[in-house]
Amino acid sequence: MAKPQVVVAPVLMSKLSVNAPEFYPSGYSSNYTESYEDGCEDYPTLSEYVQDFLNHLTEQPGSFETEIEQFAETLNGCVTTDDALQELVELIYQQATSIPNFSYMGARLCNYLSHHLTISPQSGNFRQLLLQRCRTEYEVKDQAAKGDEVTRKRFHAFVLFLGELYLNLEIKGTNGQVTRADILQVGLRELLNALFSNPMDDNLICAVKLLKLTGSVLEDAWKEKGKMDMEEIIQRIENVVLDANCSRDVKQMLLKLVELRSSNWGRVHVTSTYREATPENDPNYFMNEPTFYTSDGVPFTAADPDYQEKYQELLEREDFFPDYEENGTDLSGAGDPYLDDIDDEMDPEIEEAYEKFCLESERKRKQ
């Protein structure tokens, strides 16, 4: 027997009537209105309403913040049965795993609805049904990772969506604290195992994308529990680079990932707050300071003890942009002697100082 379609309730006429202009955000193009113009006086089904909203978010992700509240309010008026909630979950899941750019937005949408949909039937609330849907795909991970190209592509989309869910789906405890779903953390670990156990190029690329997305958060969570899972994953990556028959480009990607992890996933360790930072307690204090040059071509920065004296000498010696207004208009009416001499050879002493500076910068970079 065919599942009955869920029809949006008449009380929602102001927002869901096909003739209501406020239903369509500015710039939103859809064949939604046209499909109901020819004498159809009914209201759109839940499927059609949700799908159009998902397409709109795909095209205009910036509208999420301004329109999500109204969307959730509308759903609370028409999602009143188990079947309707299941249909909603499936629509969002399909959009998030079939449209590459929608996985992040889909995860945000799932998080919002998990906290704002009021329906909670015996079969489970929105979040529970969503996780059940993900589990259906998760249980065939091993077959999917070694399947044909189409199967693997669909599997990779699911993996990356699950990664976004792990980062964005908030679980509120009884004390009001917000945590991530541990079950997703466990699931991502097993999905990585499935990908590395079948080291085809596209599987490995998917693993790299997932670790770039979630690696830092996963490692922090594992470390809090005293687990060494990330060490095991890195070891497995190194084994793949040595033994697997993957392409050179993919091996390079894997090595870059190992390098990223060795740099704490690109995160900069902050030794102190901005107000407390001093040259004595923060080695990065002068990191972003500009480099100046004395009249002899010797470089100096704010880290030098005699910085103030050298900088004052520089200000007295140089008259920066003397013949230019703020908007760049040339006031001299003639060629700029500095620009005219731009191709002249560098003074030997300045050239020597510049070469020393370059060598020293390269030495520090390699340390």
Residues of the chain predicted below pLDDT 70: 1-43, 269-367
- Per-residue pLDDT, 150: 96
- Per-residue pLDDT, 132: 96
Structural tokens at position 339: 């620009």
User: How large a percentage of the chain has pLDDT more than 70?
Assistant: 61
pLDDT in tens, 17-45: 333 333 333 333 344 333 322 322 344 78
Structural tokens at position 283: 């080695």
- Looking at CATH, the fold of the domain delimited by 46-266 is given as 1.25.40
DSSP state of 264: G
- Per-residue pLDDT, 41: 30
What sign has the CA pseudo-torsion 84, 33, 30, 10? negative
- Per-residue pLDDT, 199: 94
Backbone phi, psi, residue 40, to 5°:
-85, 115
CB atoms closer than 10 angstroms to residue 89: 22
- Per-residue pLDDT, 357: 59
DSSP run (H or E) holding 172: strand 170-172
Helices (runs of H) and strands (runs of E) counted in the chain? 15, 4
Beta bridge partners of 45: 7
Distance in angstroms (rounded) separating the CA atoms of residues 102 and 96: 5
Distance in angstroms (rounded) separating the CA atoms of residues 52 and 36: 14
CB atoms closer than 10 angstroms to residue 307: 15
Identify the CA nearest to 77 among candidates 11, 6, 3: 11
DSSP state of 342: T
- Per-residue pLDDT, 190: 97
Ramachandran region, residue 228 (left: φ > 0; alpha: ψ -120 to 50; beta: rest): alpha
Distance in angstroms (rounded) separating the CA atoms of residues 232 and 222: 12
Identify the CA nearest to 189 among candidates 230, 142, 144: 230
